[in-house]
Amino acid sequence: MMDTHIDQRFKRTWDFFLANVGGLLLGGLVVLAGWLVIIPGPWFSLNLLQETLECARSGRPVRWQATFERQGNFVKSWGLTLAMGIPLAIGYALLIVPGVLLSLYWFHAPMLAADGRKTLDALSESGRIFRRRNDWAAYFLNWLVLAVLSALGGVTAFALLLTVPLSLAYLAFCYTDEVGTVPTVALPRREVVV
């Protein structure tokens, strides 16, 4: 269950980051390079988010190569980017508050998609999780941590290289604290061919 123990969650995030610094930094670099070319950006992001979630649950090291190895996530990543991005952009253009409310409502949608849900199912389930909670302040505080990390990332490219993996790990820990460490949907079996 997600609570307001942000300091403990951020400590776990930092420990996870330090334990996987090589894989997360290289994966974050691939994600940033993907966003520079635009087309692979959402795909690389969802892949690294999925890898981060799996590693947070299992305790295995993060493999940065997973950022580009999961071909089945391409359409889902763009669907999620457009389904969330357009309403969020409109919401933030409408005096910030509607955008913040939508961000809170869809807080877990990227993690649900990384956990195997379809795009629209992830959005609706994220809304259901939000409505079930009585302490919306916890969502706001956790969202605020991600907003501060994003703002720090906007300072320099070096800061962005650090804040992207930290944000993904923090989001993974928020999600696992809320729904537990067991996957909600069985992920398809992956094989790595060398």
Predicted TM-score (pTM) of this structure: 0.84
Mean pLDDT in the chain? 87
Within 8 A by CB and 6+ apart from 26, the residues are: 64
pLDDT tens for residues 58-111?
999 999 999 898 888 999 999 999 999 999 999 999 878 888 999 999 999 999
Residue 134: predicted pLDDT: 76
pLDDT digits (tens, 9 = 90+) for 134-164: 777 888 898 899 989 988 988 887 888 899 9
Farthest-apart Cα atoms in the chain, separation: 50
Identify the burial level of 20 via C-beta atoms within 10 angstroms of its C-beta, where 0-12 means exposed, 13-18 middle and 19 or more buried. buried
Tokens of 159: 């800061």
**pLDDT tier for residue 183 given thresholds of 50, 70 and 90:** low
